[in-house]
Each structure stands twice: as structure tokens, then as C-alpha cells.
Structure 1
Amino acid sequence: MTTKSVAAVLFDMDGTLVDSEKLWDAAMTELATEYGGVLSPQARMAMVGSAMATSMRILHDDLGQPWRDPAEGIAFLHRRVAELFVGGLEWRPGALALLRAVRAAGIPTALVTSTARQLVEVALDTLGRDSFDVVVCGDEVGAAKPDPEPYVTAARMLGVPVDRCVAIEDSPSGVASALAAGAAVLAVRGEAPLDPALGVRLLETLTAADLDLLTSLLTPLELPS
């Protein structure tokens, strides 16, 4: 047997590359206040890594206001989070160094996020528009995480087999999406706890991640005798 080479690295954005979940926390709290309510910690945790439509459903149910128009809330969040992204988007520990190492090695990269394109465009001012060969946004796929479509789409756009890709994630829905797609997964601890039963490698931060670690996550390739 020999080790497969990494065909591509597929990066989640919020909570993985950048410490943006706290900005989403602030915006969600403001929206709940606008609606005259208080967002519970449990509901906020359930939103992490989810599509906007799912997050709005969770918010409205949590506030006891299921009649709210999700489009109104999404528009509010897009405006507010865009403002917060401009003023306070910070890299998570080790994320920039790992991204640079992957790029320097000539390994294709994708950004695979549940965040909408208009906010991702703001974030790319920090992340670097030349940091990724493809970008898959939450509003550009038919089914968002935890569905496998975002990661399947990224691999297809890169022209690589998904089972030779390593996805880097922080949320339960993101990990589930990548695993369902057939990618190897490196998880970094985020706001939402990850189920140990998922069996993925979990790091406290990406400071210990390197190319050797990413390669080790791929299933060994069995050669004919």
C-alpha cells in the first residue's frame, strides 16, 4: 500500500479560516432584539454552519414568531454582517499559515461556505482573492451543508476526485457535508461541539496542521501485487 496524494484542500470559512462566528453572534442578537426577543444560546449553537434559511427558521421558532418573513431577516443580516466583516474579520490561529503552505505546494484549493456570495466577496478582501481556485457559496448550490452538494461541487469544479480531497471544517453540519461527499476531514474546534462518534481528526487550532497531517488523513491506496 502507498499513501494517496492530496488532490485538493477544501476550506470552510466561518469559524475555520476566520473568527467570524462572533460577528454572526452579534448580528443575530441584534436581529432578535429588533424582533423584541432574546436569542437563546441553544438556538444560536444550532445555527452554526447552517444555511441562512435554516438559521431563520431556528430564530423564528426560538422567539415564538414563526410567522416572520425569512427574507426580511436575511436582508438585515447581510447588511449588518457585511459591516462587521469590513471592520473586524480576523484569521483563526494557524489558518493563514496552513493556507499559504497548501498554496506554496501547488495543491488546488477551494473555499466552501454556507455564507452567501455577497458576504463572501467582502471576506475575500481579507482572505485574498487569489487564495482559492474556486469558491462555492451557500446561495450557489441547490442544497447547503449538511448536504454533500457543496463539497461535491467544489471537487467537480476543480476536476479532482473528492475522495482525494481534504476538507477543513469546524461545525457539525460542515463535517457531515464533507464526510457525505466522500472527502477526508480535518476538524478544528469551533463554537458548536463535534460528536466524537464522527471519527474525524480534531485539533484545538490549525497551528499544528501541516501538509504531512493532511496527507495522513487520506485512506491508503492499495496497489496491485
Structure 2
Amino acid sequence: MSATTLEDPLSSHHPAAVLFDMDGTLVDSEKLWDVALQELAREYGGDLSADARRAIIGTAMAESMRILHDDLGQPERDPDVSAAWINARILELFRTGLRWRPGAFDLLRAVRAAGIPTALVTSSPRALVEIALDTLVRDNFDVVVAGDEVVAAKPHPEPYLTAARLLGVPIERCVAIEDSPTGVASARASGAAVVAVPAEVPLPSLTGVHQVESLTGVDLELLAALAADRAGASG
């Protein structure tokens, strides 16, 4: 069901749109990334450190490969070659099935039932997103912004600004839902209200970011309140 066929959310108490990150927010895919990254590190004769793995979370592929190479003491390696290896392996792992994060499915279903536009805003490349959408269901999103479809990736605000532009809604009336420091920085810089649900990496307390332990306790009332507060602050 298309959200655009229902009541215009700008005339209601709902957010103008809800913008969802994917990895670690909607689906528990970071563990699959762990497998692929560690396998590549071993292929190169090393082990990826815990600090480097944490730094990679939420970043675009090019930056992820730079971090991995530097951590292994092999900065001369071609990031495109490494990215191609990771993409091929992670596609295999994604096809084995993705698990929803706690509360994510119910929240997405509630947002769609309310007629609120939705976007998937992820650092993952489009080819990988297409596999993930078999679990997430592509009709659950009016817009998808993949990591290889923007000029500036997270933590730059462009991915979230692009989603709002494609949906035709003001970003300050949107709520973004993220799990990583990189993603939170992107959403916060865009001007959206932000719900942060840490997965693999603890998040600091930040002004304008509503942090929760899981999405189980997030409902439409909370999203509406956060969007209203953000819109008021920007107005």
C-alpha cells in the first residue's frame, strides 16, 4: 500500500516521514559483516582489531576498506578489489537470511499502517540492499537511498536530505532511526529528529537525539512528539 494514497501526514500529528537505517537498526546484519570482514583480514594474513571493527560500523564501503587496510598495516592495497571481495561474500551471507532487530518489524508495520511515508537510508550498496529487501519487503518503503547512490556518504547529511527530497517532505518534520555513531551524525546534521538504538557500539548522549535500548518501546506517539519538538526548535 502506498503511503501517498492516504491522509497527508503533514496535516496530522504524525511525522512527515520516518527514515530508517538498515544494518543494525532494522536487521541484525552487523554480525554478518563481522564474518566477511574477518575472513578478508585473514585472507590478507592478519586479524581485524576490535577498534577498527567498531570504526567501520556505519561507514561507506570505501572508508571501511581504508580502515581495514590501515589496521592490517597494508594501506597500499586497492580498496576496489577489497570492496568487490566483501560485496561478493556479504551477498552470500545475506541470502542465508536476515533477522529483524527487536521491535523493528512492529514499528515499521505501525508506521506504514498510519500512512506515514517511509525511506530506507543505508550505507550499504544497492546490490546488497536488493537482497535485504527480500526480508524487509520493498513495499514497506516509498524511497530507498543506498550508499552508492549519493555523492557524500554518512556521516554527511546528504543521504537523509536526499530521502526527504525524494519524499517531498521537510527534513525537520522527519524522524530518522539509527544505530551507529556515523549514522546518528548524518541524521542529526540533516536536521531530522533522531531516535538512536545502539546495536554494536555504545552511543554518547547527544542533544536532539532520543536514545532507546531497543525499538520495542518506540511507538507512533513518541515519533510524533519528537518530530513536533524538532519542528518547533527549527521554526
Same fold (TM over 0.5): yes
Matched, 1:111 2:120: yes
User: Which amino acid letter does the alignment assign opposite residue 65 of structure 1?
Assistant: Q
- Aligned counterparts of 2:129 and 2:177: Cα–Cα separation in 1: 17
TM-superposition CA deviations, 1:135-164 (whole Å, max 9, x none): 000000000000000000000000000000
1:198 CA displacement: 4.5
Which residue of 1 is the match for residue 8 of structure 2? none
Superposed, 1:37-186 pairs within 5 Å as: 37-186=46-195
Q: Which runs of 5+ in 2 are unaligned?
A: 1-11
Task: Specify the code of the residue in structure 2 equivalent to 1:192.
Answer: V
TM-score by length of 1: 0.95
1:12 has 2:24 as partner: no
Secondary structure of the 1:88 match is coil
For residue 216 of structure 1, report the CA deviation from its aligned partner: 1.3
| Aligned AA (2:44) | Y
Q: In the TM superposition, what whole-angstrom CA distance separates every residue of 1:19-49 from its partner, at most 9, and x where no partner exists?
A: 0000000000000000001000000000000
Quote the residue 2:4 is aligned against. none
Q: Is the 8 A contact 2:104 2:216 kept in 1?
A: yes
8 A contact 1:188–1:202 mirrored in 2: yes
Q: Distance in 2 between matches of 1:4 and 1:162?
A: 16
Greater relative contact order (CA < 8 Å, ≥ 6 in sequence): 1
Give the C-alpha shift of residue 127 in structure 1: 0.3
AA in 1 matched with 2:128: L
Matched residue type, 1:145: K
The total of aligned residue pairs comes to 220
Write the distance in 2 (CA, Å) between the matches of 1:133 and 1:145. Answer: 20
Q: Is the 8 A contact 1:27 1:77 kept in 2?
A: yes
Which among 204, 207, 213 is matched to residue 222 of structure 2? 213
Q: Is the 8 A contact 2:36 2:86 kept in 1?
A: yes
Amino acid at match of 2:219: D
Shift of 1:129: 1.1
TM-score, normalised via structure 2 length: 0.91
Cross-structure match for 2:3: none
CA distance in 2, matches of 1:34, 1:208: 41
Find 1:202's aligned residue among 187, 197, 211.
Answer: 211
Shift of 1:218: 2.1
Does structure 1 retain, via aligned residues, the 8 Å contact 2:14–2:116?
A: no
Q: Which amino acid aligns with 2:191?
A: G
- Distance in 2, matches of 1:9 and 1:28, equals 30
Amino acid at match of 2:227: L
Amino acid at match of 1:84: L
Identity of aligned residues (%): 68
